[in-house]
């Protein structure tokens, strides 16, 4: 899989470790994040990853900022993106299985690197279940159409 990754200044170290981990899992990674620890604006990086995922340039995305919240909010403004903040492996698995989330986010100031790796693995190993969840994901897409 091709995975887009993005981050702000709070998550440079974690992003680099996650990039290496994702490569170890056998995936291709494209870095859309900053490599500098000087203060920067997380919405720019959320948008870059979201556009890569929405356009099909990447199969899915990983976003990291201080909490994971701000960068995921920015990503969710891009049509076709379903970004979810995950602070545990069960959520990471379920956002894929039930919501067909195409981007996960987490906070470098909230979780440690080992949990971040476990979250990434749980998300990348999961598959959308479809079925009753398909209609709900379609309803979300419908909201985008009505309010864009």
Residue 59: both structure tokens together = 């199969």
Other CB atoms within 10 Å distance of the CB of residue 59: 15
- Residue in the block written with tokens 């956002």: 95
Of 9, 27, 40, 98, the catalytic one is 98
What CA–CA distances, in Å, run from 109 to 55, 87, 114, 147? 30, 11, 13, 33
Of 9, 60, 65, 86, the catalytic one is 65
Annotated catalytic residue 9: no
Annotated catalytic residue 86: no
Residues annotated as part of the active site: 65, 98
């Amino acid at each position: 899989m091709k995975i887009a990754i993005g981050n702000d200044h709070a998550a440079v170290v974690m992003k680099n470790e996650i990039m290496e981990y994702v490569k170890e899992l056998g995936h291709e990674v494209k870095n859309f994040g900053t490599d500098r620890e000087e203060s920067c604006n997380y919405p720019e990086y959320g948008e870059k990853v979201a556009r890569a995922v929405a356009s099909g340039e990447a199969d899915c995305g990983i976003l990291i900022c201080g909490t994971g919240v701000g960068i995921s909010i920015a990503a969710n403004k891009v049509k076709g993106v379903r970004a979810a903040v995950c602070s545990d492996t069960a959520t990471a698995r379920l956002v894929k299985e039930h919501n067909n989330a195409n981007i996960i986010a987490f906070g470098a100031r909230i979780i440690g690197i080992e949990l971040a790796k476990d979250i990434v693995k749980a998300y990348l190993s999961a598959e959308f279940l479809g079925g009753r969840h398909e209609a709900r994901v379609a309803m979300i897409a419908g909201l985008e159409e009505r309010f864009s």
